[in-house]
Amino acid sequence: MLTQVAEGVLVHQSEFCQTNTVVVHGRAGVLLVDPGVREDELACLANDLSDLGQTVVAGFSTHPHWDHLLWHTSLGAAPRYGTARCAAIVRDRLSDAGAKARIAQFMPPDIVEQVPMDLLGLISGLPAGTEQIPWDGPDIRIVEHQAHAPGHAALVIEERGVLIAGDTLSDMLVPLLDFSDSADPIEDYLEALRLIEGASDHVDVVIPGHGSPGAGDQLQARIDQDRAYLQALRDEQVVSDVRVGPSATYDWVAGVHERQLQNLARRRERDGPPG
Ligand SMILES: [Zn+2]
């Protein structure tokens, strides 16, 4: 089911982790951001689009994690993009014969059989520093930063007042830090929030990669909520955040939060107090 969140911008939500696929109407067809997740959901999306008489003219993956790199034959053969950094990571991670089996190990066992892997990660990197998605539709600004994953990008569609936030600014997931590729994941994430905030002057609707789209004062509220979480981690203060509390949408987020605390503690032990 497609839900309109702004003029010419619709969302198709997966049952897996409330993953949002964003459909943006252009002049000759639609752009899809992060199509996912299960095969039947991708086929449903393709059906909905063909009912609307729309063809897919481009795709974009916000970051190099499997749930944002999916595609389905029924969506056609449009070019699929990501940032240069995102595409380089994907190429690297998919470069050997065992890659897909390895990636499948990261998927929850109850959905692994339902995730179509054939077209996983077939994206082209846009040249480093590209500011707009190349397509025939409203201008879509790429705000690249180093939160959550290397080459992560948020997208701003100013004409439509929409921010597509990738895996930041979720109402049910706390900021998930990238420990693989960052010397200071908390500072990198805080910097990303500053960039996103600075690019969002004309935004009325925020669409996170997972969770509910938010309108009105939700954008600022979510920026403040992510920032407060990160500052508490940085300052080693007690985290009070509804997303890891007793009324959290997903109880496993508290476990992810605990692992982040452990990772940070290990890093502090290794690196000593900040100089
Ligand atoms: Zn994700």
- Residue 166 CA to ligand 1 center (angstroms) comes to 7
The pLDDT assigned to 63 comes to 98
Tokens encoding 132? 């707009």
From residue 62, alpha-carbon distances to 34, 109, 133, 162, 202 in Å are 7, 24, 12, 15, 21
Residues with CB under 5 A from ligand 1 (ion): 67, 167, 209
Q: What does the pLDDT look like over 212-244, one tens digit per residue?
A: 999 999 999 999 999 999 999 999 999 999 999
Block residue for tokens 């203060």? 237
Instruction: Kindly state the greatest CA–CA separation across the chain.
Output: 59
Rounded to the nearest angstrom, the distance between the alpha carbon of 208 and the centre of ligand 1 is 9
Rounded to the nearest 5 degrees, what angle is found at the Cα of 164, between the Cα atoms of 160 and 166?
A: 175
C-alpha 273 to ligand 1 mean position (Å)? 32
pTM of the predicted structure, to 2 decimals: 0.96
pLDDT at 154: 98
Q: Cα–Cα distance between 224 and 146 in angstroms, integer?
A: 18
Q: Please report which helix (H) or strand (E) contains residue 100, including its range.
A: helix 99-104
78-113 pLDDT per residue, tens: 999 999 999 999 999 999 999 999 999 989 999 999
Residue 182 binned pLDDT confidence (cut-offs 50, 70, 90): confident
Binned at pLDDT 50, 70 and 90, residue 46 comes out as very high
Look up residue 132 and give its DSSP letter: B
**Looking at residue 170, what DSSP letter applies?**
-
Confidence at residue 274, expressed as pLDDT on a 0 to 100 scale: 62
Task: Output the average pLDDT for the chain.
Answer: 96
Q: How far is the CA of 214 from the centre of ligand 1 (A)?
A: 17
Cα(16) to centroid(ligand 1), Å:
10
Residue 120 has pLDDT above 90, yes or no: yes
| DSSP secondary structure letters along 196-209 | HHHT-TT--EEE-S
